Amino acid sequence: MPELRWLIDASYFLAAVLFILGLKKMSSPVTARKGIVWAGMGMALATLVTFLTPGASTPFMPLDNLILIVLAIAIGGSIAWVSGKKVAMTDMPQMVAIYNGMGGGAAAGIAAVEFTRGHMDGLMLFTLATLGALIGSVSFSGSCVAFAKLQGLMHKAFRLPAQNAVNALLALATLGLGIAIVWLGASGSMIPGWLLIGFFLYALALGIIVTLPIGGADMPVVISLFNAFTGLAVGFEGYVMGNPALIIAGIVVGAAGTLLTQLMAKAMNRPILNILFQPISGEAQAGGSIEGTMKEVSALDAAAMMHYAGKVIIIPGYGMAVAGAQHKIWEMTEWLENAGVSVRFAIHPVAGRMPGHMNVLLAEAGVPYDKIFDLEEINSDFAKADVALVIGANDVVNPVARTDKTSPIYGMPILNADHASHVIVVKRGQGAGYSGIENALFYRDNCRMLYGSAQKVIADVIQNLKTLE
């Protein structure tokens, strides 16, 4: 029916416009909520239009497909609604990782169905379907590993003997099976079931093996990279199915994820290939010895240092997220500002466990957007700051990134917390942090350590601030 086809195409076009406009609005914290709503409306429209897809002999979808789709939406939607309501903001990175993995898995599933149905014709379609299946499977299994690490279900890093050789052999084997699938499919031959099963098992194993060694500051980049993979896989499968909405959504997600991955890799001064194949593991150590000792400070002294300061810069890290201390930090900020102290927040691009993690937590606590600054915007101000308050951050303030060529993080742009007159570091203990790299900042003469869970420590600081009024 030409009228129905026109309605479907027009609806897909409108959904694509909503995707793009929504993504544009997500680029600013002020309009991000509206952007999510717009993109959600586009997704809802694309889903509803799917029900109008003609069947073999009817103008609408066959009843059996309709029942399966409704059932899948009901199950998936219920799980997403409940988990989305219950998930803590500190657990948001692993939620993003697993949901992103589901997208890659869905793209791989679409390819598997198309292979078994035999509806494809031509070298191009089989090539794109195979690429989508490969990329989607790697994204799915890799994202599951990322989820397990962030959730604390798996050791931070596990590296196989001859890890890169194993990666290369597994990738070559998977590509070889993929080429066989393309060749058989394009020639009109039946694709054996063992070949398809072997291909998907190898692709899933590749995603797991590549992700296992990755930890520390590399994790946000990997999550972003898998997001780009998922978008690319969805775009390929959209072309195979002739679905404009999937093509456009996949391209938008893939392009955004690729750009974000490149920006974060640049922020770390680490090529993406190094992040994947030479990751900073939990056993990494900075080269050379660090002189000096860590010097502890009390909550009262920390409160006094900040109360009588002119300018304080707060650097949040994953320790703040784990403790859920963002609300207490904002309460402390208000007390300091009432005392006439200028307080701002400095965010490193890879702080936390996913892109924008710290920004989301601070926004949840009510911190105004104009008090939050990126590395490039605020780094020069540390030299004029009286106090730099570091809360649970490690690698992003480690001075060895500037000086120690043997360090795994050498060359990574860092926040210049050590340039402040005084540095206070809130930390649960004397450990080296998530990446395992000892932080030279903690041993500097101008640095003092305030030990304990960030929420309790900041609550103690607030109590002492009240006594100084």
Residue 161 burial class via C-beta count within 10 angstroms: exposed 0-12, middle 13-18, buried 19 and up: exposed
Catalytic residue among 395, 404, 418, 460: 395
Contacts for 181 with CB less than 8 Å, ≥ 6 apart: 115, 126, 130, 191, 195, 196, 199
Is 301 one of the annotated active-site residues of the chain? no
Integer Cα distance of 74 and 63 in angstroms: 16
Residues catalogued as catalytic: 395
